[in-house]
Each structure stands twice: as structure tokens, then as C-alpha cells.
Amino acid sequence: MRHRERTLQLIDTQSGGDVSRIVTSGVEPLPGATVLEKARWLQNEGDGLRRLLLSEPYGDPAMSVDLIVEPAHPEAQAGYIIMEAMGYPLYSGSNTICTATALLASGAIPMTEGLQDVVLESPAGLARISARVTDGRVVSITTQGEPAFVAEEGLSVEVPHYGTVRFDLVWSGAYYAMVDATEHGFTLGAAEQIALTAFGDAFVRAARPGLRHEHPELGDVGPLPFAHFMGPLRTSGDGAYESPSATYVHPGVLCRSPTGTGTSARMALMARRGEIGEGDTLETVSPRGSRFVGTVLQEARVGAFPALHSTITGTARLIAHSHLTVDLDDPLVDGSDLEHVLSVQSDAGLTSA
């Protein structure tokens, strides 16, 4: 009997310590006229790919997966679908930094020395990217995704064993619950990572019921996936701020990076409070000590909400190029919503849509 084996081609990368696995080949073209439609089809009909690459023995829930697809927008050079433990975020700063770096380093998008403009299509829309290339290497990525906005302020929830937790709800590629870490005794250092994960898990489970699922333009985006813990602000003057920060991804993951969308959400909340303005920067520092720099751009509007454009700057590193063998006869592989997604024969080109 013929073995049912398939091959995926991956480029593993990391930004700020968060690992993104870029799938460049081995997946069938996905239905859908836009990257958002393709992502929603994959979520409903082919979630086995996400589970495979984020679960033992093939992966780890702390990783992310980015599937390269054909873009729909004429300005975009490639599309990408983001997959994480929580599901399918519509935009992610660290994943965008990793995906752009992988596409440039692999030659899928030709690399040029100096500053290079790249446009990618995420499920949330276009990510406009400035890549800095020095001596043939991508040394930094600055990405601008969709604008962030404060959806609700002054919320609170009773969390078992922790008491009352106050938070604000901010959209930045997904909904974030923004929590002042100092109110709960956290300094957001490396020694607190396990405690922060436990707190995040209890908080998200308690906060989810009744919170909005709707985005004014993108429709139903699912239950609350993220909590962003905010440390105290420090300033060096001239509109430059720094803050310890940590992002919890439900279920059970504390990001190694401070997260790009978490940083954008923090800046949107600060702007709402009059604490930051156009041209100002916020450098967020994760419990592991990794850093992203956010820069405030112009104001915007999303539906009825005042919103904020911003950029995130970070660096990604290549970890591995691999051909992953998927044995569909392995009892540890659930092929029920996976087999029809995988190509019978993969090639070296990008996954088409």
C-alpha cells in the first residue's frame, strides 16, 4: 500500500524571540478572492494545517505559522495568512517582520541594497514595509499595518483568585485587553513569565463573555485572543518613551517579543489619553529583554472610531530552511481537515492561491 506522504517547505525565522514558520510550498491553492477570504476558508475547512505545525511532534504552540499565498491587491508582492495558538489573527507585527525578511532573504522578492519598499497583503489589508538591507542582509523591517483604535474604555471583570481586573479594549490587528501590570504587582521581568501566563489565562477566560466580536469593517473576528500587560512609562525626552510590556496569547502562550500589534495598541491607548502624539516613539521591552520600536503617524478613522496609524520596527533572523515530511498515516496526524489542503507534489515555488 502506498504511503500517504506530503512535503512542506518552510523557512523558520524569529523576531524578538518569537518563532514564525513561513510555509512557502506544499499547500494547494486556497479558495477566495482576497487573502481575508482565503484565511477564513482555511480556518473553517483546513485548520489541520495550523494544528499540525503548532503541535507536537511537528511544532510548538508558542510558534506562529505564516502561509504564503497569492495576493489579491495589485500593489502587493505576496499575501500571507497568519496562524497562532489562538487561531487566525488578521495582522501581526512580528509575523510581518518575519515574513518580509524570509521572502527577501530567499529571493522570492528580489532584494536591493539600502532602503527597499515592500507591500504584503495580510487578511486585514495591506502591510506597507520599509526593509533596510546592508551587505545583502535584511537588518531591520519597519511595517505599517491597519490603524488601531480604542473600542471600549474603563471595563472591569472579576477574575477568580485575582480579584477585580480593570482593562481597556483596543483593536490592533486583533482585539487586545490592555491591563496595567503594576496594579497586580507585576514588574514584567523574566522571573514572572509563568505567573503572567497563569494570570493571562484566568483573565481572558473571565473577560471573554460579553466582549465584542465585531470589527466595523472586517466583521466577526472571534472572541478575545490577547491580553497586553503594560508597565510604567519612562521617557528620555523629545517624545521618546520606553515601557516594559508583555503579551499573553490565549490559550497558554506568553510572547517572547513585546509584539508589534501590542505596541500599536498601547500607542493608540496613549494617544487617546493625550500621552503621545505624531512623531513620538514607544519602545516596548518584553520580559525576555527583546525590543520593538513603535512610531506614531497620523490620525485615522475606522467606522465610527477615531484611530491611529503607526509603524513598528524590528529585526528578524533566519533559523532554518527545511523540507517537512507529513505522514498522513501517522496516528499523531489528524488528516481529516488537512489532507485536501496539502499538495500531492510540492515544488520550490511559492504557494499559489
Q: Which residues are catalytic?
A: 92
DSSP bridge partners of 170: 150, 176
Task: Give me the residue label for grid cell 523540507.
Answer: 323
Q: What is the 3-state secondary structure (H, E, C) of the chain?
A: CCCCEEEEEEEEEEECCEEEEEEEECECCCCCCCHHHHHHHHHHHCCHHHHHHCCCCCCCCCCEEEEEECCCCCCCCEEEEEEECCECCCCCHHHHHHHHHHHHHCCCCCCCCEEEEEEEEECCEEEEEEEEEECCEEEEEEEECCCEEEEEEEEEEEECCCEEEEEEEEECCCEEEEEEHHHHCCCCCHHHHHHHHHHHHHHHHHHCCCCCCEECCCEECCCCCEEEEECCCEEEECCEEEEEEEEEECCCEECCCCCHHHHHHHHHHHHHCCCCCCCCEEEEECCCCCEEEEEEEEEEEECCEEEEEEEEEECEEEEEEEEEEEECCCCCCCCCCCHHHECCCCCCCCCCC
